[in-house]
Amino acid sequence: MKLRIIGLALSLSLVLTACGGEGDGGGRASFLGRAAGISEEETLLTVDGRAVPGWRYLYWLAAACDQLAEEYRAAGKELDWQAGTEQGTPAQWALRQALADTALYATVENWAERYGCALTESDRQQLETDWEEQAGDGEEAALAELRNRGLDRERAQELAGVGLLYAQLCVLAAGDGRAAAEPEALEALAGEAGYVTVDRILIPAGDGAADRAAEAFAALNGASDTAAVFAELSAAGADPAGARTLLPGDGTLDPELEQAALALEEGQCSGILETAEGYSILRRLPTDTAAVETAFLDRRLQDAAAAADIRTGEDYASLDPAAFYQALEALRQAGA
């Protein structure tokens, strides 16, 4: 299962794409708090001591409810919030998912403080540039979608800022060592997850391609230094990517090539593999653990969020996802 944080930067990008901008920041959004009947600005819960305002949790609760509604709609079923499932009732799942997302974002912020990460002037300029680009696509429609999500410009940029802090943590994990993992831990994760580092010789489909592939394969079989010959043929081939580290199912290679790569031993070459792209010969290399540093950081953040000291109050205990979502949808439809 992919760690949810892997989609962090993407999800924040989608927030920006959907929301556009108000130019001057505007006032507070009101759909979320009005639907829940609680304050959006006051602290709803804390995550390892970090105060989380109501709107943040309600934003994720609305997203979880939207996801459930869409899944049931696609299946042609009516959403029964109290129906029993393997994951509990839909209402219980929505509460848990929203809490997990809220805790994850707060944990990123806590870690950013721990490792000395902060938004730079360049980061802030990037946020402004993103707003300007999105607002240019149609401010009125963007603002309507923004209200539906319970966000205004300031709040959307706050969430996007967490994504930029996460990017800084990724740099630290691969850079100066402050957030880096031990090599043994990276190797263990790479093996557990099934990461494979592979290089490829690609001869594009076309006249004479099969003969050229056969010549390359023969050169490899007759080489005293297979690694050197493979590297030379790979560099002269049509795949400019060079060696790459893939996770099964990530789409880095065609499924046929991926399966062939997984079957190879370290240092071993495949036979000639034909796909629509042409003819490929693969060689499995020692796993590049640097390529899994971000995945390892994701796991550490995910584990930290799951183990976080989360303290909630009476307003949180009073939340009813079904009633909240019904009220939220009514406000969305009324555009009030």
Whether the pLDDT of residue 306 is over 90: the answer is: yes
- pLDDT value of position 35: 95
158-176 residue pLDDT tens: 888 998 998 888 888 766 5
Whether the pLDDT of residue 58 is over 70: the answer is: yes
Domain residue limits, the chain = 4-182+296-334, 196-286
Whether the pLDDT of residue 4 is over 60: the answer is: no
Q: What is the CA radius of gyration of the chain?
A: 25
Range 170-196 average pLDDT: 67
Name the one residue in this structure whose structure tokens are 């020692």. Answer: 286
Residue 229 is inside which H or E element, if any?
A: helix 226-236
215-225 residue pLDDT tens: 999 999 999 99
Q: Which CATH class is domain 4-182+296-334?
A: mainly alpha
Local structure of 197: helix, strand or coil: strand
**Would you say 98 and 55 are in contact if contact means Cβ atoms under 8 Å apart?**
no
- pLDDT value of position 24: 34
Q: Which CATH class is domain 196-286?
A: alpha beta
Local structure of 76: helix, strand or coil: coil
- Laid out side by side, the sheet with 43-47 consists of 50-53, 43-47, 310-312
Q: Which of 332, 250, 327, 323 is nearest to 95 (CA)?
A: 323
Here the tokens at position 192 are 């557990």
Same fold flag, 4-182+296-334 and 196-286: no
Confidence of residue 22 (pLDDT cuts 50, 70, 90): very low
